Structure 1
Amino acid sequence: MINSYTNITSTPGGFRKLICKDSLLTLFNCKQDSRYQDIWSHHNYILYVLEGRKIWHTAHRSYDLREGTCVFVKKGGAIVEQFFDTDFCFFLFFIPDDFICDVLNKRSRPVPRVWGETEPIIAVESSATIMTYFQSMYPYFIDGNEPDPSLLELKFRELVMALADQRNEALLSYFCALMNEPQIVSVQRVMEQNFCFNLRLEEFARLSSRSLSAFKRDFEKLYGISPGKWLMEKRLSHSLHLLTNMGRNVAEAAFESGFESYSHFSRSFRKRFGHPPTAMKQLAIMNVTASVA
């Protein structure tokens, strides 16, 4: 998978980007590449769509992002589906966990404590405050001059403050989790929301803010098995669901379940379920046909 943050920072040209302190990055872009891209990021990001359409596919649901949409995307993976009938123009702000926590801990008013499960992508209301913020950022992209890093940092702080003031329960719940969540819970959240993406264990560890050895230790404490075995079982169960309930073909099920190759998927699937994926797909079709008849 492509690490979108690393890819952007290491690729010259193509779009206007502003970087502060090696971790805060914002860009303005209208470039499109292939129809589907599997991406991940070890930083959260905020995306505001100016024009066009893309669909972010996650483990449990899809998010259709169009003109005027603003979302907060939690660090992790996604399959992005692109449409080429119009350019996709957007603002993108990468914001690390520790920066969010630092800003919120320095607020004059504490962040309201809200607890609950949150989706990988959280909708942000396009309020007057948020719209005015993005309008204020536009001149920095069309002006050839680089803003002072301290000014850019202030603009990032302003964005986080504005989001916290929205009283968005889902977003506040995630912010509370970042500031107060037990480390073992963060491992569970990362795994449950990203198991179907072709990420290496080192990348899951990075998403969990751990070394690889600490990640493996905490994972086995939480689940009682190794992360490799757990991932294989989750991905195979997900692929079976896609084949038999969601109408995916074998290649799509393999790709959307995080398998690196069709051959690896087919071998693993047959070993787990006793039949090749093509046979399970055909059986599901026959069952549907029989029930209709």
Structure 2
Amino acid sequence: MTNIYDFLKFQPNVYRQFVCKDLLIAYYDCTQASKQEEFFSHFSYITFVVNGERCVHRRGKSWLLRPNACLFFKKGALMQDMYFSDNFRSLNLYLPDSYLQQQFKEYLKSRKTRNLINQPSEQVFELAVNQTTEGFIQALLALFEQQPAPTDDIIEQRARELLFSFLLDQDNKPLTTYLNSLINRRQTSLYEVMEANYMFNLSLEQFSRIANRSLATFKREFTRLFHTTPARWLMQKRLTYAKTLLETTELPVNDVAYESGFENTSHFSRVFKERFGLSPLFYRKQHHTVLIPEPQPALAIY
């Protein structure tokens, strides 16, 4: 699966960008094709859409990226639809946890905030963009046209101003509570990474990178936490998720396999029958309980 951070960072001649240590600010401008793809990032990121439309999906939920929409993506994987419409252009800020922790601590020093309650938030959530925030976004976009190129200090200052403007907006509580949940963590929660991403066909190396661990450390901590191997745990979670999709949706079996993280339908059908005693198709015939209409193209962020 493509790591979108690496994809952008290692093509500086294709995608305009600024790199300050691990902080990456990239202007994405790409002709679209009619296809779906999965990608992941080991850093959280903010995307502001300049032009075009794309739709991203996770666990049956969809978000439409349309002009002037701004979304926060926690690190992890997504599925994306690409449209035939105008070229998709976006401003993207890839933000390591260490950077987010540092900036949020600075934000708290400057604000008289009450005790924040850490509430669960979606893997993807929309950010409110007010007039002030719009000004900071335009200031960042202007840096790509500046000659000579801006210094690292200026780039970091513009990124910090934009992040603080989001935090100051009361409509962005999901961002505030999420960053508050990060500040006292010494490392990424392995449990949260796995629960949020098991249905994507990520390799163990990619899971370990999202979790900010070496592969050896990832395997060792995983076994201690889940009392089984990553391969066995992933197979069980994916089969259970596929079973739920067969029971509650009308997705074709091919799509159920894909949505559950299996590389191909034949492998999925074989291991499903081994686990539940029936092929996916016959299991659905016996256990299907809820009919859900075929999903329609997203018209808004929802």
Q: TM-score, normalised by structure 1?
A: 0.88
Which residue of structure 1 aligns with residue 272 of structure 2?
A: 269
1:45 Cα offset (Å): 0.7
> What is the aligned partner in structure 2 of residue 109 from structure 1?
110
Cα gap change, 1:8 to 1:270, in 2 (>3 Å): same
- Equivalent position to 1:280, from 275, 280, 283: 283
**Deviations 1:70-111 (Å, cap 9, x if unpaired)?**
111000000011221333221111111111112222333267
**1:38-117 equivalent positions in 2, closer than 5 A:** 38-59=38-59, 61-107=61-107, 108-109=109-110, 113-117=116-120
For 1:31, the equivalent position in structure 2 comes to 31
CA–CA distance in structure 1, aligned partners of residues 149 and 286 of structure 2: 60
What residue in structure 2 maps to residue 177 of structure 1?
Answer: 181
| Distance (Å, rounded) in 1 between the aligned partners of 2:28 and 2:2 | 19
Structure 1 match to 2:294: none
- Output one character per residue of 1:34-91: Cα deviation in whole Å (capped at 9) or x when no partner: 5211000001110111222211111352222222211110000000112213332211
Structure with the higher fraction of residues in helix conformation:
1
Separation of aligned partners in 2, 1:230 and 1:188: 12
For these two proteins, the number of residue pairs brought into alignment is 287
- Counterpart CA distance in 1 for 2:110 and 2:290 is 56
| Residue number in structure 2 paired with 1:249 | 252
Shift of 1:176: 1.4
- Does residue 219 of the first structure (1) align with residue 222 of the second (2)? yes
Instruction: Name stretches of at least 5 consecutive residues in structure 2 with no aligned partner.
Output: 292-302
1:151-162 equivalences in 2 (<5 Å):
151-162=154-165
Q: Distance in 1 between matches of 2:182 and 2:126?
A: 18
Distance change in 2, residues 1:246/1:182 (3 Å): farther
Paired residues of 2:25 and 2:91 also in contact (CA < 8 A)? no
Q: Are the aligned partners of 2:74 and 2:123 in contact in 1 as well (CA < 8 Å)? A: yes
Supply the AA of the counterpart residue of 1:20: C
Please tell me the root mean square deviation across aligned C-alpha atoms, in Å.
2.4
- The 1-side partners of 2:17 and 2:80 are apart by 21
d(CA) in 2 for partners of 1:143, 1:176: 34
Identity of aligned residues (%): 32
Displacement of 1:157:
1.7
1:240 and 2:226 correspond:
no
| Mapped pair 1:18 → 2:18 | yes
Residue of 173, 186, 190 corresponding to 1:187: 190
Residues in 2 aligned to 1:237 and 1:145: alpha-carbon distance in whole angstroms:
55
* SS in structure 2 of the partner of residue 219 of structure 1: helix
Runs of 4+ displaced beyond 3 Å: 12-15, 142-145, 281-285
Measured after TM superposition, the shift of residue 216 of structure 1 is 2.7
CA distance in 2 between counterparts of 1:192 and 1:87 reads: 34
Q: Which moved more, 1:273-282 or 1:233-242?
A: 273-282
Q: CA deviation at 1:226?
A: 2.3
Matches of 2:177 and 2:239, distance apart in 1: 31
Deviates more, 1:188-197 or 1:206-215: 206-215
Letter of the structure 2 residue corresponding to residue 76 of structure 1: G
2:169 is the counterpart of 1:138: no
Opposite residue 175 of structure 2, the aligned amino acid is L
Consecutive unaligned residues of structure 1, counting only runs of 5 or more, are: none
- Residues 57, 63 of structure 1: 8 Å contact kept: yes
Letter in 2 for 1:248: L
CA distance in 2, matches of 1:145, 1:284: 65
Distance 1:178 1:22 in 2: 18
Contact 2:9–2:24, Cα closer than 8 Å, also in 1 = no
